[in-house]
Amino acid sequence: MAHPRADTKIILSEADLHRVVDRIAHQILEKTSGATGTVLLGIPTRGVPLARRLAARIHAFEDVDVPVGSLDITLYRDDLRLQATRALGKTELPPGGLDGRRVILVDDVLFSGRTVRAALDALSDVGRPSSVQLAVLVDRGHRELPIRADYVGKNIPTARSESVRVSLAETDDGTDEVRLTGGDK
């Protein structure tokens, strides 16, 4: 694990992160009448384990199995030519597909909205859901597109020069936390 920098602040501890996931799971159950006909699609990298965690918590609360999949958006990004080559992720659709089902896209941080726009484009190529919702762990503001999340773990007003770093045990050396890194970039 990397050592924290002096300009870094923990904004969600491991315990906070677990409580936020529990709260989002409860909100999904409430807003979707028990998650009937719902599929969770994680956006790689950290959206996938978050979607799995949400499904596990929904199962623990209501004994409902919500199908989980992943949606790779790499080729749908509008910044593809501006960044270094990236490896393609996996799109894994749950059994039964997406047609006619409520899809909840799951991601770690909502910032400009461009990742979500890319996800909506990718989604249209793999199925025709009855509706699409968005669940994010952190909403940091600064939207460039008219996109908002239906389920938000924590709203964190940030400066554009700051970074929000989400660490999850599944992807980041066993660490669960969210850090805000100061604007020295």
Q: Is residue 115 part of a domain?
A: yes
56, part of any domain: yes
- The DSSP secondary structure of the chain, one letter per residue, reads -PPPPTTEEEEE-HHHHHHHHHHHHHHHHHHTTTTTTEEEEEPTTTHHHHHHHHHHHHHHHH-----EEE---GGG-TTGGGS--------BPPTT-STTSEEEEEEEEESSSHHHHHHHHHHHHH---SEEEEEEEEE----SSS---SEEEEE----TT-EEEEE-TTTTTT--EEEEE-S--
pLDDT at 77: 85
CA dihedral 45, 8, 14, 56 (to 10 degrees): -20
In a domain, 6, yes or no: no
As a whole number, the mean pLDDT across the chain is 92
Question: Quick check: is 100 in a domain?
Answer: yes
Given a cut of 70, is residue 87 above it in pLDDT?
no
The reported pTM is 0.92
Q: What is the pLDDT of residues 146-160, one digit of tens each?
A: 999 999 999 999 999
**Higher-confidence position of 173 and 28:** 28
Give me the pLDDT at residue 85, please: 58
Average pLDDT over residues 131-152: 97
**What pLDDT, on the 0 to 100 scale, is given for residue 95?**
92
Q: Is residue 174 in some structural domain?
A: no
Q: Based on the structure, what is the number of domains in the chain?
A: 1
Q: pLDDT tens for residues 38-81?
A: 999 999 999 999 999 999 999 999 999 999 999 999 989 887 66
Structural domain containing residue 118: 15-159
The enclosing domain of 78 has a CATH number of 3.40.50.2020
Return the pLDDT at 90.
Answer: 85
Mean predicted confidence (pLDDT) in 108-118: 96
Residue 185 confidence class, pLDDT cut points 50, 70, 90: very low
